[in-house]
Amino acid sequence: MTTTPIMADVIFSSVTRLAAAIRAGQISAAEVLEAHLAQIAIHNPALNAVTTIDAGKAQERARAADVALARDEMWGPLHGVPFTLKDAHSTAGMPTTVGFPPLAGHVPAEDSTVTARLKQAGGVLMGKTNVPTMLGDFQTDNPIFGRTNNPWNLERTPGGSSGGAAAALASGMTPFEIGTDLASSIRLPAHFCGLFGLKPTERRVSLAGLIPNPHGIPRSVRGMSCIGPMARTVEDLALLFRVIAGPDIRDTEVQPVPVDIVPTPSLNRLRIAFAQTFPGFPVAADVRDSINELARQLDRSGAVVEEAKLPELDFHQELAGADQLIGMMIGAFQQEQREQPTTLQQYLEALHRRDQVHYRLGAIFPGMGRADLPSIHDHSISPL
């Protein structure tokens, strides 16, 4: 990937640094946008990560951001920072298709909550990134836009379903992305493309406007699915999460829990558990060696490091159970495609099995679930 040194400083900068540089007048929002549009023009033909671009509207908003800054008017922490969005978030005036042919050309009338919050924070939306059809695959390909390739190796997949997001971010075509994750759709592409991704706790980020629904049927996925940031630094994840998290009036299941800035504790106050892999899953030797070396470095730095004693669970079976639960939720309005509709009893039993797995895994951490568990501000216990 060839770029000039000046351009590389812009397109591979962190969101935090870009926003600070724009605020300080070291570079204009218009210049930052043009650098990313140029990167898209150079590399997207090979990657096919960005599916929709509205350069005109983005340029208009970037110029407005520069004019506002000249008047000492700040829109928010992302003032003037360009970005793309996974083609699952509804975007007013810009197509949202989820790679699903019946939605080809569908243009939502209003933004999703996440889209709206990013704009309110000052972000400049450039376009959308590719997904598998209806987000239903671990690689990224669909009949509308085709296949997305991994920027590190064009013959490989960037993963899915946030594959276009990950490929665009890793190749410098966007400073950040917002993925979605029901079954590793943030975590897998972040891993495949060498990025940081966060799947937050359920019901911390509003799902309103995720996957357009022109027919207005009730939302079937009411659990497990999460929206979270993807970035090239952990610091950026924290910034973006604070922007998108919190309740709204559209997703009533998001609780009014404050999004605090959590102080970073010193290593000698951390108690860290690690595992080389889950029981029954092979791990590559270089991955195992890297995990063990990290554990040794943390131990030498003063942390209390212990290898976790994982419960004897059949993870293949538990993954199959998770797939079954997802199928129950998604299939709730597709009963004609099922030989026997799922009963309420079957659904509740599937939730009960998931609860039992959560309980057994949570027992790894001392005090988990007890009334005397230290508060979130006490970092003497840090379940990582």
Active-site residues, by number, are 86, 161, 185
User: In the numeric block, which tokens belong to residue 18?
Assistant: 């870009």
User: Which residue bears the tokens 């812009």?
Assistant: 10
98-113 CB burial, b ≥16 within 10 A, e <16:
bbbeebeeeebeebbb
Element (H, E) at 124: strand 124-129
Through-space distance between the first and last CA atoms of the chain, rounded to whole angstroms: 34
112 prior amide bond cis, ω within 30 = no
Considering Cα of 45, then 50, then 52, then 53, what sign does the dihedral take? Answer: negative
Place of tokens 């106050």: 269
Q: Where are the alpha helices (DSSP H) in 253-343?
A: 285-300, 315-330
Token output for 21? 């540089």
C-alpha closest to that of 179 among 125, 117, 238, 114: 114
Q: Which long-range contacts (CB under 8 A, 24 or more apart) does 291-297 make?
A: none
- Residue 99: which of 158, 46, 164 has the closest Cα? 164
Phi and psi angles of residue 226, each rounded to the nearest 5 degrees, phi first: -135, 155
Residue (of 262, 258, 230) closest to 245 by Cα position: 258
Residue with tokens 């917002």: 178
What percentage of the chain's residues is helix, strand, coil (to nearest 5)? Answer: 40, 15, 50
